[in-house]
Structure 1
């Protein structure tokens, strides 16, 4: 039994499904659902369990004693500090990313 394309869309279930699908996709592309989606996503993130601290992060603190002990470290870090200051001069909006490096440069 061969079904033609025209006869396929004469069935009410298929026609109504196609109309509903096109309508929902069109509304979503217009961004009508975005505020609702963001609220649902935010609620899901608040309800999930606390994953704990991220083990991929490493925080390093250097004291004056460490700097005196590891004097060779200055030669490795100083170029990084100079580059960070150049980046800050050209792109001040990156300040939040480089704040730690600038504060670190005060030590030297």
Structure 2
């Protein structure tokens, strides 16, 4: 499985300073310039991932998107690490659906 990239998350714009993205599975992520994390809700109270910035940097929308991608990729890696047969089963299911014979 390849890593998720910025092309895999959809940006929905900004409302009242809060920016919104959505993952391929529909999980929303929110960020406000005053937050040093991305959150799963518009209030920012349910933090999902800390932004990776130094003390001298100002948080940007790009930092937030990177944090979202890190969260999604870490989640996917954990799922695959804990269930190593998922990818094999997915490939086998795809072959069955397409009618491939092994």
TM-score greater than 0.5 by the shorter chain? no
- The structure richer in helix per residue is 1
> Normalised by the size of structure 1, how large is the TM-score?
0.27
- The structure richer in strand per residue is 2
> Normalised by the size of structure 2, how large is the TM-score?
0.28
Structure number with the bigger relative contact order (C-alpha 8 A, sep ≥ 6) is: 2
